[in-house]
Amino acid sequence: SLVASVSEDLSGRKVIAAILLHDDIEDQLSVVSLGTGNCFVAGDNLCDEGNVIHDSHAEIIAKRGFQRYLLKEIYGLTDRRIFKQTLFGTLKVMSHLSFHLYISTAPCGDGAVFTHADPHHTDGDHEPVFRKQQHGLLRTKVEKGEGTIPTDDTPQTLDGIRRGQRLRTMSCSDKICRWNVLGIQGALLSLFLVEPIYLSSITLGMLFNDGHMSRAMCCRVDGNGRPLTGLPPGYRAQHPKLGCVTRVTDTRSVDRSSPLSVNWNMADNSVEVTDATRGMTTRNTASR
């Protein structure tokens, strides 16, 4: 209903993502952050002052809103409390609460590098597929295009981008994989928390292949059963439950994405529309 309240030409709704809170005691699921979008900022609009959104893909926007929600929870600005204080003064998410990510389609990058002909099962087991050389590679989004390409050793410089070099941005699959090691709270909020906040599950609306999703989301960081070492206490490679919705509309869309993006989170409780190519709101102001 939030997205429906925004007119069709503004919504940029080719991809929708949301982070949800599940309360085990009340058996209640609540949306805490939502984002739409499938574009990122144009190279000539880059800014190092922190007032431009660089990546407006739906997953990234949902996570950004989630961090605003966490910050307001920490400062006690919401009606609901999700944290408890430890003996050391840091905070920890209450044990009966968990967070879940929904994306309307496979995240760009390694999680989408497959064809419909690829075999897959749907029991949610983490059995990663590494059949081809490109499986598991880091990939980047390409400016003014859709899809991703493997990373290379060519350095990306600000002056090169100013002269017309295409801006490259980390793919959503790679970013989510990073979240499954570092958590979804971000570096700043980690200062308040005793341990990272991990996603308990990731659900797709369509284009789900569990072998490729498990590889892209988590299993490639500790391939062949080798656990990650050298991580700070509390950090690990998180392997969330993976799945897809039971009712799937798998119609292929060939329309180009709208440059506009919508964001909402429970703490702010209002819808904001931004222009992804400029990284600013449609009123030409910095996003919240």
Q: What is the 3-state secondary structure (H, E, C) of 45-81?
A: HCCCCCCCCCECCHHHHHHHHHHHHHHHHHCCCCCCC
Asked if residue 63 belongs to a domain, the reply is yes
pLDDT at res. 197: 98
Q: Which of 59, 143, 195, 272 is the catalytic position?
A: 59
Q: At CA 248, angle to CA 14 and CA 214, rounded to 5?
A: 85
Q: Which domain holds residue 98?
A: 8-138+172-268
pLDDT category at 10 given cuts 50, 70, 90 is very low
Q: Following CA atoms 88, 94, 95, 100 in sequence, which dihedral angle do they give, to the nearest 10 degrees?
A: -120
Q: Does residue 215 surpass a pLDDT of 90?
A: yes
Asked if residue 258 belongs to a domain, the reply is yes
Which tokens belong to 13? 């709704």
Q: Does residue 59 surpass a pLDDT of 60?
A: yes
Q: What is the mean pLDDT of residues 177-183?
A: 97
Instruction: Give just the sign of the alpha carbon dihedral 106, 111, 115, 119.
Output: negative
Residues 90-94: contacts with CB under 8 Å, at least 24 apart: 90/192, 90/193, 90/194, 91/192, 91/193, 91/194, 92/193, 92/194, 92/195, 93/197
Asked if residue 273 belongs to a domain, the reply is no
Asked if residue 158 belongs to a domain, the reply is no
Q: Does residue 107 surpass a pLDDT of 60?
A: yes
- 272 counts as catalytic: no
Least confident of 8-12, 36-40, 224-228: 8-12
Alpha carbon distance 34, 129 (integer Å): 30
Least confident of 6-10, 98-102, 123-127, 169-173: 6-10
Q: How many domains does the chain have?
A: 1
Residues 23-29: contacts with CB under 8 Å, at least 24 apart: 23/96, 23/97, 24/96, 24/97, 24/98, 25/96, 29/100
Alpha carbon distance 253, 177 (integer Å): 26
Asked if residue 2 belongs to a domain, the reply is no
SS3 150: strand
Contact 171, 88 (CB under 8 A): no
Asked if residue 152 belongs to a domain, the reply is no
Contact 218, 183 (CB under 8 A): no
Instruction: Give just the sign of the alpha carbon dihedral 107, 109, 114, 116.
Output: positive
- Identify which of 170, 195, 169, 171 has the alpha carbon closest to the alpha carbon of residue 183: 195
